[in-house]
Amino acid sequence: MAKALPIMFQGTHSDAGKSIIATAFCRIFAQNGWKTAPFKSQNMSLNSYVTVDGKEIGRAQGIQAEAAGVVATTDMNPILIKPSREHESQIVVHGKPYKNMQAFAYRGEFFEKGLAIIRESLDVLMNEYDRLVIEGAGSPAEINLNDRELVNMRIARMANAPVVLIGDIERGGVFASLVGTLQLLDKEDRKRIIGVIINKFRGDLALLKPGLDWFEQYTGVPVLGVVPYLEDLHIDAEDSVSLEQMSTAVNPDKDIDIAVIRYPKISNFTDVDPFLTEPDCHVRFVATAAQLGQPDLLILPGSKNTIEDLLYMKKNGIAEQIAQLNKHHRVTIVGICGGYQMLGARIRDPFGVETPLREISGLNLLPIETTLERKKTTVLSEGILTFAGERFFVKGYEIHMGRSQPLDGNIPFIHVQGRAEGAKSKDERVIGTYFHDLFHNDAFREALLNKIRREKGLAPIYGRQSFRTIREQAFDRLADHVKRHVRIEEIEEKMHVFRKGDV
């Protein structure tokens, strides 16, 4: 019999809180001394995480592994789906690109192969760990997809895992969504539901209690907890759905205004998370020229389709406004990965990797040109950079399908293991790099913010808190919060009962 005791979290819909509850349980089980692994058979996300062996998995599973105190592997997310064009996605298998497929072809051609890949990874984890925290996707009640789904009840059956169903009360209609989901499950799958958790609650619990009592009486399914909304958690978001809640307006109470371009194919926007923890910074995600304004720091994040997103900025006036900001205002501009490519003179796509368009002019703020390639680079990197007269050792990771070549006048940004990487302007107001997690390097982040503060006539701030420390504290805070509001011991008892087959 497999060693690990599994538990699975499914939701009534996307963004119900599956990832964050799964992260909490990874931490809780680890705190209790169990060797714990996260698992998501198939993840659709543009936020990636690079493993120590240079493989790409979903960001959520990488963060959950950190919460559990274990090293992330591709077995924790063997299939990653990265939307790239309309109706088409890149399929990543065990951290490496497999092929680009449309949704219909994926369901038809990949199902059996995907099932075998998932089963193999699940077997590895079940035999190497004590606890397995499994996360579903979307809803288990997608009746139009369930015949060939690879991420919800089929995985629960494969792992013989009990399931906790999560509902998001913040959106309204939580009882309808919970009851509706249960009623759409077939009888055997419904038996796997050991209880529900109501997530993102605000207000007086006494007002909710009549609904909880009714739900338990009507469905026979226990409410295992009501988790209040937790502010300022600072744990990486799963996907761009979370950006809907981000501000677009300037906050005059903050010293430094940071604008992040939210183009349609934005990816790895978690690069800016460290700024969310800085007391003097306000981060805005902007999608139009009107929203952009005159920020102190402008960030062009990663993109799953750099050419399409560059065209988007040109069409809606953002590109022209960036040029004007660079010319007439004191703004620091940083492009990461796809954003770095956009800052150059041109982008070539000779193989049609992203679009039929073979070449497009860039923003022309850095003397580089990029050629998109079929082969993807995924690697953990480290190097030395010089900024504001100081040298910094930085770590990061690279995920890109292009190679950027310097043109005359280029100044490299980072020296990485014998090669020059990135580019910067002479006045260091424009910076481009393939280094994701650049801002997670505390000393460099402090130097960047202090340079901006000096330019605004503000005193520098030294001794900023380590982002890694903040995130570790966030894991503990999340675990404590969930332990206060969810009946953990009852869930563990039900896990053991389920293993024995007494359900």
Task: Report d(CA 129, CA 134) in Å as an integer.
Answer: 13
Residue 393 identity: F
Distance CA 11, CA 31 (A): 25
Instruction: Return d(Cα 398, Cα 437) in angstroms, integer.
Output: 9
Q: What phi and psi, each to the nearest 5 degrees, are found at residue 197?
A: -120, 130
Asked if 82 and 266 touch (Cβ cutoff 8 Å), the reply is: no
Strand, helix or coil for residue 347: strand
Q: What are residue 217's phi and psi, to 5 degrees?
A: -70, -40
The strand pairing partners of 36, in sequence order, are 131
118 three-state secondary structure = helix
Catalytic residue among 94, 281, 282, 337: 337
- Work out the number of other CB atoms within 10 angstroms of the CB of residue 456: 12
In this structure, which amino acid lies at residue 389?
G
Q: Is the CB of residue 29 less than 8 Å from the CB of residue 36?
A: yes
Cα separation of 66 and 471, whole Å?
10
Place of tokens 């043109």: 407
Question: Is the separation of the CB atoms in 350 and 358 below 8 Å?
Answer: yes
User: For the purposes of burial, counting CB atoms within 10 Å of the CB of 88, is it exposed (0-12), middle (13-18) or buried (19 or more)?
Assistant: middle
CA 462 to chain CA mean position, Å: 29
Q: Determine the Cα–Cα distance for residues 429 and 43; give it in Å rounded to an integer.
A: 37
The distance of Cα 345 from the centroid of its chain, to the nearest Å, equals 30
Residue 281 known to be catalytic: no
Distances in Å between the Cα of 440 and the Cα atoms of 50, 400, 415 are 15, 19, 18
DSSP string, 7-68: EEEEESSTTSSHHHHHHHHHHHHHHTT--EEEE-SEEE-S-EEE-TTS-EEEHHHHHHHHHH
Say if residues 155 and 8 touch (Cβ distance below 8 Å): yes
Best CA proximity match to 57, nearest among 35, 42, 67, 70: 42
Q: Does residue 337 carry a catalytic annotation?
A: yes
Of 282, 436, 440, 485, which one is the catalytic site residue?
436
Q: In what order do the strands lie in the sheet with 423-424?
A: 281-286, 256-261, 297-300, 332-336, 430-433, 423-424
The Cα 129–Cα 122 span in angstroms is 11
DSSP secondary structure code for residue 331 in this structure: -
Q: Which amino acid is at 321?
A: Q
With tokens 């999608």, the residue in question is 287
> Which tokens hold the place of 29?
């089980």
State the catalytic residues.
Answer: 337, 436
